[in-house]
């Protein structure tokens, strides 16, 4: 019996999208500017919602229809994938025919991870933020959520949505440099530890990335349980971008130098640790602009995620690319994985100098993680009061984060940006996602009949 079960994605409704996004913004996405506006007024309106350039709004009704189908499909698949997940130790569900429904420990939507979209605006090819919507859903269904992001671009939209909230703790590993999109994510800790941004150096390879990611995951998970309000994490969301692979054509030669081995290693570690700690895992996609290498990465990482239900499956992957209609696209190596690179060999820099830059950047990254640990251990609630009974927080005027980044020393300013409305009641709005067998239309899941290995 196989572990992977594919589903047809279910579309999100306007009600689902409104759980986070501004109604006026959604109306503009769906219908375009009012016809009564002049061309200049229409352009000004679109610009105010950042629906220009890389997130241009189609000018025709048919184009708007295609776009709306796309955004509802992306968001719907991520929410539905989250709804398929079942808590460890739960009573097995039964479908309408009385048949047992298998427990789902890991669910994936590689079309998701649109982490740049904001409450009232688009950005970075992202029109709606499915990652926020899925994390909201999981917070209501399971409890406290850890959101991790290893796309090379900062997860600015997700961080902004949950800023100051201990219900969804956000951790982003990314590239931060002047002129590099989105221009946010400076190294540091926000809201007393509820946000953690760790930039990694240009040219970072698997040899540094994989052990550091494992250290970040293990440290955040362990320290949170013993020092942070709200208790242990009850669910994990991991967004994986393929744009950190060596030679990504959009990021350019000054990006990261990862291979598919490094990305898969991070996903496998997350899946194994979630299995050990008995928390469900949702895996989302991200950027990746070499289509063949992105296909490699997401395919291999699908198997890596199955380590959460069937340990050892990743090691059994064949070395060669799958044969079939697109086999020729994997040339000239025709290998399944991309090749690891040597530390320091990027951007035309000599190896010795490049290696020293990577080593220095990783030392800085370890310092940021150590700073987060000290802040959380020394200041339990980070300036926020956690309502144990209601499961919510109230902001302290001295404890909210400034718009221009975060500080390792925890000295934070004030932010007046609206946050995600993570209400405690489910309201029934997501009921159409709550039964996977009644609505067999979600992304992809890895499941087992019991807490033991799947057959």
CA pair distance 208, 358, nearest whole angstrom? 9
345: confidence class by pLDDT, cuts 50, 70, 90: low
Give the whole-angstrom CA distance, residue 136 versus residue 419. 11
Active site residue 116: yes
Please give the pLDDT value at position 378.
81
Helix (H, G, I), strand (E, B) or coil at 353: helix
pLDDT over threshold 90, residue 252: no
**Whole-number CA gyration radius for the chain:** 21
**What pLDDT, in 10s, does the model give residues 315-332?**
999 999 999 999 999 999
pLDDT band at 298 (very low <50, low <70, confident <90, very high): very high
Q: How many residues does the chain have?
A: 455
Of 14-23, 172-181, 209-218, 228-237, the range with the lowest mean pLDDT is 228-237
DSSP state of 58: P
In this predicted model, what pLDDT tens digit does every residue of 160-211 receive, in sequence order? 999 999 999 999 999 999 999 999 999 999 988 899 999 999 999 999 999 9
DSSP secondary structure letters along 27-40: HHHHH-S-TTS-HH
Asked if 305 and 316 count as a contact pair (C-beta separation under 8 A), the reply is: no
Which among 281, 259, 53, 8 is positioned nearest to 145, based on CA atoms? Answer: 281
Residue 252 gets the label, from left (phi > 0), alpha (psi -120 to 50) or beta, of left
Distance between first and last Cα of the chain? 5
- Catalogue all structural domains in the chain, each as residue range(s) with its CATH number: 4-448 (3.40.800.20)
The pLDDT tens digits of the residues spanning 112-147 come to: 999 999 999 999 999 999 999 999 999 999 999 999
Give residues with Cβ within 8 angstroms of 246, minimum separation 6.
Answer: 255, 256, 257, 258, 259, 338, 341, 346
115, 116, 154, 174: the catalytic one is 116
What is the per-residue pLDDT for 274? 97
Work out the average pLDDT over 87-105: 73
Buried b (16+ CB within 10 A) or exposed e, 15-47: ebbbbbbbeebbebbeebbeeeeeeeebeebbe
- Four-point Cα dihedral 73, 79, 81, 83, nearest 10: -140
């Amino acid at each position: 019996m196989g572990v992977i079960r594919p589903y047809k994605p279910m579309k999100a409704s306007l009600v689902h999208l409104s759980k986070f996004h501004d109604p006026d913004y959604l109306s503009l996405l769906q219908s375009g500017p009012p016809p009564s506006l002049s061309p200049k007024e229409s352009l000004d309106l679109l610009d105010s919602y950042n629906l220009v350039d890389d997130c241009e709004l189609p000018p025709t009704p048919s184009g708007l229809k295609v776009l709306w189908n796309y955004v509802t499909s992306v968001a719907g698949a991520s929410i539905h994938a989250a709804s398929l997940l079942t808590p460890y130790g739960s009573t097995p569900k039964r479908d309408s025919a009385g048949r047992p429904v298998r427990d789902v420990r890991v669910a994936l939507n590689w079309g998701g991870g649109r982490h740049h979209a904001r409450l009232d605006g688009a950005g970075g090819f992202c029109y709606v933020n499915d990652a926020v919507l899925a994390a909201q859903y999981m917070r209501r269904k399971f409890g406290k959520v850890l959101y991790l992001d290893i796309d090379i671009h900062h997860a600015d939209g997700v961080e902004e949505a949950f800023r100051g909230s201990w219900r969804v703790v956000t951790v982003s590993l990314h590239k931060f440099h002047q002129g590099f999109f989105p221009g946010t994510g400076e190294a540091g800790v926000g809201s007393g530890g509820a946000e953690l941004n760790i930039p990694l150096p240009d040219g970072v390879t698997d040899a540094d990335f994989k052990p550091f990611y494992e250290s970040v995951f293990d440290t955040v998970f362990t320290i949170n349980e013993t020092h942070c309000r709200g208790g242990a994490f009850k669910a994990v969301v991991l967004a994986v971008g393929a744009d950190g692979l060596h030679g990504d054509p959009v990021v350019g030669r000054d990006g990261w130098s990862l291979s598919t081995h490094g990305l898969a290693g991070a996903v496998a570690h997350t899946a194994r640790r979630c299995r050990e700690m008995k928390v469900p895992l949702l895996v989302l996609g991200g950027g990746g602009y070499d289509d063949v290498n992105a296909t490699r990465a997401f395919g291999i990482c699908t198997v890596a995620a199955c380590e959460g239900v069937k340990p050892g499956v990743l090691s059994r992957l064949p070395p060669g690319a799958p044969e079939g209609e697109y086999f020729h696209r994997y040339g000239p190596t025709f290998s399944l994985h991309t090749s690891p690179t040597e530390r320091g060999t990027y951007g035309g820099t000599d190896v010795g100098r490049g290696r020293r830059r990577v080593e220095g950047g990783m030392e800085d990254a370890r310092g940021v993680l150590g700073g987060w640990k000290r802040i959380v251990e020394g200041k339990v609630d980070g300036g926020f009061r956690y309502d144990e009974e209601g499961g919510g927080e109230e902001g302290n005027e001295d404890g909210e984060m400034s718009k221009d980044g975060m500080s390792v020393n925890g000295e934070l300013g004030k932010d007046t940006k609206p946050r995600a409305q993570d209400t405690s009641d489910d309201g029934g709005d997501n009921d159409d996602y709550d039964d996977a067998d009644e609505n067999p239309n979600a992304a992809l899941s890895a499941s087992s009949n019991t807490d033991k290995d799947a057959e």
